[in-house]
Chain A
Amino acid sequence: MKTHYPDQTIVEAVNRHTLAVIVDNEPGVLARISGLFSGRGYNIESLTVSETQHETHVSRITIVTAGTAAVIEQIKAQLERLVPVHRVDDLTVRGEALERELCLVKVVGDGEHRVEALRLASAFGARTLDATLSSFVFELTGASEDIERFVKLMAGVGLVEVARTGIAAMTRGAGTLDG
């Protein structure tokens, strides 16, 4: 379609990027960032936030997003334009970053399902946080793909509830982002 607006028919590869965004922890900062994504039509696959430096009230937000190379560049530039944003680091560009997610899984059942659930949990290295005669709550920390597989398997043995945190990520090696 020949249009006045950017040509949609140009198909470029969409890549998944993990961004670390260092921000002032002030009221509204999360709304600013999530509003930017919705207002400009970008994707958020996962977003986690917590204050990481209490004395200076600095928070670290980890965002997993997907887009073409040009869109990822725009996302970074638009984030950096926000006044409370100190810096944006593209962990995907910096090389293989460590990414971990925490997940809580509740299974309900009895008999063979119960035994199988416990066996799978132990195979994945999940911790049992709570147990009753008819249920378990497991905690698993790992890469998103591992959690995905674990949850899928649990579906067959009485899964009733899942809670996931989204990704926290960090580069390998001695280099740091904070500051």
Chain B
Amino acid sequence: MSEMMTGAEMVVRALQDQGVEHIFGYPGGAVLPIYDALFHQDTIEHVLVRHEQGAVHAAEGYARSSGKVGVVLVTSGPGATNAVTGLTDALMDSVPLVCITGQVPTHLIGSDAFQECDTVGITRHCTKHNYLVKDIADLPRILHEAFYVAANGRPGPVVIDLPKDIQFKSGLYARPRDNQHKTYRPKVKGDMDKIRQAIELMAAAKKPVFYTGGGIINAGPHASELLRELVRLTGFPVTSTLMGLGAYPASDEQFLGMLGMHGTYEANLAMHGCDLLINIGARFDDRITGRLDAFSPHSRKIHVDIDPSSINKNVKVDLGIIGDCGHVLEDMVRLWRSMSPTVDKDALKSWWGQIGEWRARKCLAFRNSDSVIKPQFAIQRLYEASKRTGRDTFVTTEVGQHQMWAAQYFGFDAPNRWMTSGGLGTMGYGLPAAIGTQLAHRDGLVIDIAGEASILMNIQEMSTAVQYRLPVKIFILNNEYMGMVRQWQELLHGGRYSQSYSESLPDFVKLAEAYGAVGMRCDDPAKLDGAIEEMLAVDRPVIFDCLVDKAENCFPMIPSGKAHNEMLLNDYLGETGTDIGSVIDEKGKMLV
């Protein structure tokens, strides 16, 4: 059953047919017909952001917290170029998005028209796929195909560049019977023979460890359930990447904490010492592996990933299984049950004994203070307070020290509750992502854990939060430094803090009030709990300026050019008196 309508109307109809309830956008000349079509309907709520980068991050927060495809609508030229950082972020972290960009009319393309840019050219490298629509007859197919491509296989952002004349043209719209791409069919079922081999390797392992990542979150909550089941069945320890936090409950005894550059001592040493590494939905990122030629040197490696190009990209593995984590985990659980293999209980017991010794180092312990708020203490108290509310809690972050402290000290027991920019490391991600998350979960408690430098990168989105009555809580760990930059300058550049001091900061309390939100400040550890309680009780957006220790560094840390078993712990300086700058050699200083 097809109907005549304009291209702009097709956009809105296709979004409705896809079940889209919220879109994030900013109007402009080249998308006016679509905004007019939006005006005539009330099933889709348009959220007006204050900068297009904010629109994309908000859609990312929405998508990551809900499992749906996030939708963005921006105009041509600067609208599209402002979206590029967000699109790149979504590509690196595998977030499903559809971004519709306006374009100048087809007859003006290439003429350097007002607000023209080569959007498909610019976004070719930062999208999973993109389209320039030159014929109204292609538009219905492309609109639906874009959702399929964004959500299937390894998810990612898809751009549809839509010239203004196509938005005005009339054509036939019919919802396609299926919105699949005509040839793109990612493999989701893992090869059974390989899964059987994986089970055999697991059964024979003496020192195994699960290394899990964001692929499990992307595979849906069911995959997290299956992971829990498999971990319980096998009795193996499990660690997670930054992107995978929440897939396995942080509070569980078998969880070793996050691994990698700022991961726990026990997780990284388990990776270093294991004889079988089972990577499910992670990609051997350089923040995880440290020095590659010393990465997990004694282990056989299994890698489950939906993206064939991830396998053997950074680390050569013994068994690569291409498939969706959910499907592969389901087969693994079923096979483990039916084969009921006899594991080496004594070996596992001594492996856990070894892990217990590493745990006893208490790598996340820190020297607290009663005169100044330690950032780690602040996150711990925020976590405890959020648990006391009994509310479903979602945390987003900006990028830097606060992000790592949040990952270390805030426990996540469920998937889709932790939204952070991992791959691209985008400062300014957290506030718009919190806005998108709060929109998807009106009753949830949404906290953006921020730094005073990062928050200023997309502070304009405060207006969005206030306009849509989104009671996001912005918890700033304010140390008056770009803390991670300062930490690296301390480690690598002789403590010459070039440009990393946060000069001329705004008064965050007054800033919140200027936006019509609530501002709070705390600098006393004794008063912190009360202030956090007060923040959580407010049903409006809050900026909480938490003044913390200016000199604190983020530990544990695997310095550049070092292996997992060469970590620095928090008490490093105190114990040895060594200048921390001397532990990284000249070659290590070349790295980031």
Binds B, one of A79-87, A114-122, A134-142, A148-156: A79-87
Query: Closest CB of chain B to A22's CB: distance in Å?
Result: 9
Binds B, one of A31-39, A41-49, A99-107, A170-178: A31-39
Binds B, one of A69-77, A123-131, A157-165: A69-77
Interface string of B552-592 (1 = CB under 8 A from A): 00000000110000000000000000000000000110111
B124 touches A32 (CB 8 A): yes
A81 touches B286 (CB 8 A): no
Is residue A28 within 8 Å, beta carbon to beta carbon, of the partner chain? yes
Is residue B292 within 8 Å, beta carbon to beta carbon, of the partner chain? yes
Most buried by B among A3, A31, A80: A3
B309 touches A78 (CB 8 A): yes
Please list the residues of chain B having a beta carbon within 8 angstroms of any beta carbon in chain A: 120-121, 124-125, 128-130, 132, 134, 149, 154, 181-184, 286, 290-293, 307-309, 311-314, 316, 560-561, 587-588, 590-592
Contacts of A51 in B (CB 8 A): none
B286 touches A5 (CB 8 A): yes
Of B125, B293, B313, which one neighbours A2 at CB under 8 angstroms?
A: B293
Q: A27-B132, A86-B183 are in contact. Are A39 and B591 (CB under 8 A)?
A: no
A80 touches B308 (CB 8 A): yes
Q: A5-B591, A39-B125, A81-B307 are in contact. Are A73 and B312 (CB under 8 A)?
A: yes
Additional A-B contact list (10), CB under 8 Å, known A2-B587, A3-B291, A86-B183: A4-B588, A4-B591, A5-B292, A7-B292, A24-B182, A31-B121, A74-B312, A77-B311, A81-B307, A81-B309
A77 touches B293 (CB 8 A): no
Is residue A93 within 8 Å, beta carbon to beta carbon, of the partner chain? no
Contacts of B316 in A (CB 8 A): 70
Contacts of B312 in A (CB 8 A): 70, 73-74
Give me the 3 closest cross-chain CB pairs, A-B, nearest first.
A77-B309, A83-B129, A4-B591
Give CA–CA (A80, B310) in the complex, Å: 12
Most buried by A among B149, B181, B183: B183
B184 touches A2 (CB 8 A): no
Q: A28-B124, A83-B129 are in contact. Are A4 and B314 (CB under 8 A)?
A: no
Q: Mind listing 6 A-B residue pairs with CB under 8 Å?
A: A1-B587, A3-B588, A3-B590, A4-B592, A24-B182, A35-B124
Give CA–CA (A7, B292) in the complex, Å: 7
Query: Closest CB of chain B to A152's CB: distance in Å?
Result: 39
Contacts of B134 in A (CB 8 A): 27
Give CA–CA (A35, B290) in the complex, Å: 29
Contacts of A28 in B (CB 8 A): 120, 124, 130, 132
Of A1, A31, A74, which one neighbours B309 at CB under 8 angstroms?
A: A74
Query: Closest CB of chain A to B36's CB: distance in Å?
Result: 28
A3 touches B124 (CB 8 A): no
Contacts of B183 in A (CB 8 A): 24, 84, 86
Of B149, B293, B311, which one neighbours A83 at CB under 8 angstroms?
A: B149
Query: Closest CB of chain A to B135's CB: distance in Å?
Result: 11
Contacts of A4 in B (CB 8 A): 286, 290-292, 560-561, 588, 591-592
Is residue A95 within 8 Å, beta carbon to beta carbon, of the partner chain? no
Residue of A nearest to B289 (CB): A4
Give CA–CA (A73, B130) in the complex, Å: 25
Residue of B nearest to A4 (CB): B591
A83 touches B124 (CB 8 A): no
Query: Closest CB of chain B to A68's CB: distance in Å?
Result: 12
Give CA–CA (A3, B309) in the complex, Å: 23
Contacts of A27 in B (CB 8 A): 132, 134
Of A3, A39, A73, which one neighbours B587 at CB under 8 angstroms?
A: A3
Give CA–CA (A7, B154) in the complex, Å: 28
Give CA–CA (A35, B592) in the complex, Å: 25
Query: Closest CB of chain A to B446's CB: distance in Å?
Result: 33
Most buried by B among A7, A32, A74, A81: A81
Contacts of A6 in B (CB 8 A): 292, 314
A3 touches B132 (CB 8 A): no
A31 touches B293 (CB 8 A): no
Contacts of B292 in A (CB 8 A): 3-7
A7 touches B293 (CB 8 A): yes
Give CA–CA (A74, B588) in the complex, Å: 27
Query: Closest CB of chain B to A26's CB: distance in Å?
Result: 9
Give CA–CA (A60, B311) in the complex, Å: 26
Of B286, B313, B591, which one neighbours A74 at CB under 8 angstroms?
A: B313
Q: A28-B120, A74-B309 are in contact. Are A3 and B125 (CB under 8 A)?
A: no
